[in-house]
Amino acid sequence: MRTNLKSTNKYTFIFWGIFSILFCLSASSKTQELQSLKSWQDKMNKSDFSGSVLVAHKGEIIFQDFFGLANRETNTPFNIKTVFDIGSITKQFTATAIMKLVQEDKLSLQSTLSKFFENVPDDKKDITLHQLLTHSAGFPLIVPPLFSPLSFLYSKTERDEFIEEVLDTELLFLPGEKYSYSNIGYGLSAAIIEKTTGMPWELYIQQHILSPVGVKQTGYRLLTRESKNLAVNYGRDPNVFQKALSMQAASKSVGHSLQHQYDNPGPRWHLEGGGGFLSTITDMYHWYLALSAGKVLSEKSWQTMFTPYIAESKQATSHYGYGWALNKSKNGHRRIEHTGSNSYTYAVFQYYPDDELFIFIATNNWDDYPTKLVKKIESLAFALVQESKIHL
């Protein structure tokens, strides 16, 4: 068939015209997003935020930056080697260890406390592992007293002493009735790991959960740290006079998150299982890679952990699985996340499985945390990776 050269040239011209326009629009869009990110970085640098931020997409780091000082006294900035407190993000590792033992038929999620511990009171004997992991067992946040919870959590406590105190603690509601966030449930879960494996709970997690996927600087008591890499924590603790006059206290050092172990080594079972882990930005990235690749556990086990079992509030905007909160971002994207704090530190682990996106944030100075500004990293991250934008 004869080709109409004139017509072909016309359509070729139109094609390249459209392509040029789209290319310019795409380049313009990319420039705008990068400018927005640069503007955000400038604002972060001018704020009182000190910490680390990382964004990864499809397994690749697309943004990473460090802000402020990890140690003001030595003028040490946050950097790739900084070790910081991840608080309750520890719970996902405890829950993963439980699921691995369930997967190996060494535990059942419906096993009750009476199977693992002696002299369990009637009101607690039927509490299940499932209820411990979903914060629906009825336990309070911590074993009373509730005054000075941080110093209480860091007080030396043996495992059996902790269990005895827990079994004497009054429940807030009937097991399984509703949700109430509790470190106690994860402390008992850690004790169950020990009774099942015959190993310290942290050692089991290191050997069977973390080390196999290259997460080597995450843990509590068993790792040796270089002091120069430990982030010092800062807070604005008002004295009685300042409280009375509603005055803001000066930000000052409260030591690093292993200070209590350096000063007085030993178990802290009011904290263990539910908190206490420290980590690095590199380890958190490697843990995300393991999650996104479905390593450590079977696909079925991961789905069991990521199931939204119980609403965290009456609004039911977020549900709890096993060691994870399941909710949606502001723009409606499915999000699997957890936060962690020791009252001075704060860390956020966010995984968007449908978008293959990961965001991690950590600070050693929660009192001066610029919440609204930090939260903008989510929209910036989505703007960078959405199909309508140029991927970095």
Helix 159-167 vs helix 183-197: angle between axes, to the nearest 10 degrees?
A: 130
Q: What is the pLDDT of residue 151?
A: 66
Rounded to whole angstroms, the Cα distance separating 336 from 325 reads: 6
Mean pLDDT lowest among 113-127, 205-219, 294-308, 372-386: 372-386
Residue 247, C-beta contacts closer than 8 angstroms, at least 6 positions apart: 238, 241
> For 219-228, what is the mean pLDDT?
95
| The pLDDT of residue 330 | 87
- The whole-angstrom separation of Cα 291 and Cα 274 is 20
Confidence of residue 32 (pLDDT cuts 50, 70, 90): low
The answer on pLDDT for 2 being more than 80 is: no
Lowest mean pLDDT among 192-201, 238-247, 333-342, 378-387: 238-247
pLDDT band with cut points at 50, 70 and 90 for residue 21: very low
Q: Find out whether 391 and 57 touch, Cβ atoms under 8 Å.
A: yes
Q: What is the mean pLDDT of residues 322-345?
A: 96
Listed range (26-35, 157-166, 256-265, 274-283) with the worst mean pLDDT: 26-35
Residue 142 token pair: 């911590």
Question: What is the structure's pLDDT at 390?
Answer: 43
Per residue, the 3-state secondary structure of 37-89, as one string, reads HHHHHHHHHHCCCCEEEEEEECCEEEEEEEECEEECCCCEECCCCCEEEEECC
Q: SS3 letters for the chain?
A: CCCCHHHHHHHHHHHHHHHHHHHHHHHHHHHHHHHHHHHHHHHHHHCCCCEEEEEEECCEEEEEEEECEEECCCCEECCCCCEEEEECCHHHHHHHHHHHHHHCCCCCCCCEHHHHCCCCCCCCCCCEHHHHHCCCCCCCCCCCCCCCHHHHHCCCECHHHHHHHHHCCCCCCCCCCCCCCCHHHHHHHHHHHHHHHCCCHHHHHHHHHHHHHCCCCCECCCCCCCHHHECEEEECCCCHHHHHCCCCCCCEEEEECCHHHHHCCCCECCCECCECEEECHHHHHHHHHHHHCCCCCCHHHHHHHCCCCEECCCCCCEEECCCCEEEECCCCCEEEEEEEECCCCEEEEEEECCCCEEEEEEECCHHHCCHHHHHHHHHHHHHHHCCCCCCC
- pLDDT per residue as tens digits for the range 73-84: 999 999 999 999
**What percent of the chain has pLDDT above 90?**
80
Closest CA to 249 of 235, 228, 266, 263: 235
CA distance 4 to 385: 42
In the predicted structure, residue 26 carries a pLDDT above the cut 60: no
Band of residue 225 on the pLDDT scale cut at 50, 70, 90: very high
Q: Is residue 22 pLDDT above 60, yes or no?
A: no
Mean pLDDT across the chain, nearest whole number?
A: 89
Using 50, 70 and 90 to split pLDDT, how confident is the model at 375?
A: very high
The pTM score is 0.89
Q: What is the pLDDT of residues 110-163, one digit of tens each?
A: 999 999 999 999 999 999 999 999 999 999 999 876 555 666 788 899 999 999
Mean of the pLDDT values across residues 72-97? 98
The model's pLDDT over 34-63, given as tens digits with 9 standing for 90+, comes to 688 899 999 999 999 999 999 999 999 999
pLDDT tens for each residue of 178-207? 999 999 999 999 999 999 999 999 999 999
Q: Do the beta carbons of residue 232 and residue 242 sit within 8 Å?
A: no
Model confidence at 33, in pLDDT bands (50, 70, 90)? low
